[in-house]
Structure 1
Amino acid sequence: MPDSWPSWQADADRWGCITQVMGIEAGHCTQPHGPTGCTVLIARDGAVAGVDVRGAAPGTRETDLLSPANLVERVHAIALCGGSAWGLDAASGVMQWLDEQRIGLDVGVARVPIVPAAVLFDLLVGDPGIRPGARQGYTACQQAGKTPLTCGSVGAGSGASVGKVFGMPCAMRGGIGSASLTVQGVTVAAVIACNALGDVIHPGTGSVVAGARTSPTGHVLRNTHQALLRGESPVAILQGSNTTIGAVATDAVLSKSQAQRLATVAHDGLARSISPVHTMSDGDTLFALATGKVAQHPGMLTLSAMATEVVARATVRAVWSATAYQDDAGLYLPAVTDVRCGGNRF
């Protein structure tokens, strides 16, 4: 394992967090009885933003306005939510909180908070009738701050799962993770809610960290990529029943077109850490935020390399930090710590 990669046991300081980006606050609302939840990123002074949707089954709000061809330049928050399409309602609560703080686009008679959002499908875990709504979005804003964001089975990652190509009974627990890097005085960070159809891969070793198991009760990882190449048939997969969502943020100054490019190249981090990725059953969506709080700019090539790295790290951290799940219906989703000795070497 390269020295630049923290081990899964490493403390949070070695991983970093998206709140280390100047101008970004973050918070969760977790509904443990779902389990589901939402995670919010707040830019009180606004942030230039971009988005790139790669999965074929996305659930999003306010993404069209992020096109460089469209008028609005800055957003004030990003909402990442569980609950499938119902979860988009959490953004309304984020808007309410921002409105109360008088944060938003000044249109003369009011300040309109701009809150793009994306959702993941977590209805197959727990009670599908429990979903994040406006109240949960508001609560996530109340919890937001500059302290390190908790990772694992919380917020938008509460009901996440990974490794579902061969059926939900053989899957594992997903989650939400964050990571950051600072180069030449500029910080780039990511937060990723990983609910992927595919396996999560360690980019440093190529080994499977979490994913499809060989049996519903076992703790041996199947390696989905190799299994598919061997000719093993996937189960019938409900379209849109997966999705990895997240955001990258930097305190560098970016134009709107540069922010969109950063969101685009950040998907390389998902390609390094999830296999298969961007499938017909995933709605993979990444936002990019630039707060412009520092004058330094190492160049887009360096920022792109940083974005790719922190997205990969945050994805791996999401599953490394997750806890096992078991419900009364018999669904068992082990955590990484449960399968390490079952054929997973990293």
Structure 2
Amino acid sequence: MTSSITEVAGIEVGHFTDPRRPTGCTVVLARGSAVAGVDVRGAAPGTRETDLLHPANTVERVHAVLLSGGSAWGLDAAGGVMRWLEEQGIGLAVGPARVPIVPGAVLFDLPLGDHRIRPDAAAGYAACQAASRMPPEEGNVGAGAGAVVGKIFGLPRAMKGGIGSASVTVDGVTVGALVACNALGDVLDPDSGRVLAGARSADGSQLLDARRALLRGEAPRPVMAGTNTTIGVIATDAVITKAQAARLATVGHDGLARAINPAHTLFDGDTLFALGTGESGRSPGLMTLAAMAAEACALAVVRAVRAARGIDIAGLHLPACGELG
């Protein structure tokens, strides 16, 4: 079976991909609820329900996490996720009602096609209907449908991003990650440092290596804040506390920084959530879990671009990883 976040007991993933333009949303379900944390590192995030995940705040557990395209409009998809969960009788018991707790984050994909088409509540509901324990599809689907990487020298020199997943298992405990990569920077192989996808040369024929280009003085193109972003979910079946979930979200960003350069810029809204289902009934300790989380995130980023397919839209060609000679 393909290594993915659904290797974590208690986790399901569903995508909705809009057929009208490259956009969509992805839901990570924890029907039995999960301890949750978050770490927002980018300077231009688009999020919901992140304050309640602070370790000092009351709510301990969530029922789903939404990842969506559509910029801030995409947060509307969370309403559909809540409706679906309510219909299943899933949520936090508050008197006569059950309120599903659904944090979420969005990425910016509005330049690809008609920006008036973006994920809404119906899209979030459809993503829940599609959710399963099967390894999720990767590449140009769900929240990764409109993802683009390597925009630091302009969109015409960028490449197609996507969504990817990976997992790591140690001594019977699994940590998985699901990441939608729409980064301003390049995506690298974390082991070799080789650029896999990102900014291209002026003629578009080869990878540029944005880090080296910046260091030799090539000026980046002006970028609007929030027009990039890598968002994702880390999940584990280990028994963890809310504070430990927050720490896993933090160290997951180490994995992003291994696979994306530059990461966490002023123009990215990089956000990672962490979920703990506790279904393994054990824990190898936070040091090991942290190493696993960073590794899974880095691998998921790589999988996102390797699974992506090149697209042509409105006269713009965004090649996929492996297309360049």
Same fold, TM-score > 0.5, yes or no:
yes
2:112 is matched with 125
Q: Aligned-residue CA RMSD in angstroms? A: 0.8
The reply on whether 1:159 has 2:146 as its aligned counterpart is yes
The reply on whether 1:25 has 2:18 as its aligned counterpart is no
The reply on whether 1:246 has 2:237 as its aligned counterpart is no
The reply on whether 1:230 has 2:202 as its aligned counterpart is no
Paired positions, count: 325
Taking the TM superposition and a 5 Å limit, the aligned residue runs for 1:174-253 are 174-215=161-202, 218-253=204-239
Moved more, 123-132 or 191-200: 123-132
Partner secondary structure for residue 96 of structure 1:
helix
Residues of 1 paired with 2:169 and 2:48: CA distance?
Answer: 30
Deviation at 1:108, TM superposition (A): 2.2
1:96 is matched with 83
The reply on whether 1:288 has 2:309 as its aligned counterpart is no
Deviation at 1:126, TM superposition (A): 1.8
Deviation at 1:296, TM superposition (A): 2.0
Determine if contact 1:219/1:338 at 8 Å carries over to the other structure: no
The reply on whether 1:141 has 2:128 as its aligned counterpart is yes
Partner secondary structure for residue 316 of structure 1:
helix
Specify which of 91, 95, 110 is matched with residue 108 of structure 1.
95
Deviation at 1:198, TM superposition (A): 0.2
Uncovered stretches (5+) of structure 1, i.e. residues with no partner: 1-12, 342-346
Partner secondary structure for residue 182 of structure 1:
strand
1:333 is matched with 318
Partner secondary structure for residue 323 of structure 2:
helix
Uncovered stretches (5+) of structure 2, i.e. residues with no partner: none
Deviation at 1:103, TM superposition (A): 0.2
1:313 is matched with 299
Residues of 1 paired with 2:111 and 2:260: CA distance?
Answer: 20
Residues of 1 paired with 2:118 and 2:148: CA distance?
Answer: 16
Residues of 1 paired with 2:71 and 2:154: CA distance?
Answer: 19
**Residue deviations 1:67-105, cap 9 Å, x none?**
011110100000000000000000000000000000000
Specify which of 31, 40, 63 is matched with residue 53 of structure 1.
40
Amino acid at match of 2:13: A
1:79 is matched with 66
Residues of 2 paired with 1:192 and 1:122: CA distance?
Answer: 15
TM-score between the two structures when normalised by the length of structure 1: 0.93
Partner secondary structure for residue 336 of structure 1:
coil
TM-score between the two structures when normalised by the length of structure 2: 0.99
Deviation at 1:337, TM superposition (A): 2.3
1:267 is matched with 253
Amino acid at match of 2:308: A
**Residue deviations 1:241-277, cap 9 Å, x none?**
0000001000011100000000001100000000000
Amino acid at match of 2:140: S
Residues of 1 paired with 2:113 and 2:15: CA distance?
Answer: 19
Residues of 2 paired with 1:111 and 1:52: CA distance?
Answer: 26
**Residue deviations 1:104-149, cap 9 Å, x none?**
0011211100000000000112221110000000000000010110
Amino acid at match of 2:214: L
Determine if contact 2:196/2:322 at 8 Å carries over to the other structure: no
Residues of 1 paired with 2:41 and 2:204: CA distance?
Answer: 32
Name segments (4+ residues, structure 1) moved above 4 Å. none
Amino acid at match of 1:249: A
Amino acid at match of 1:46: S
Deviation at 1:183, TM superposition (A): 0.4
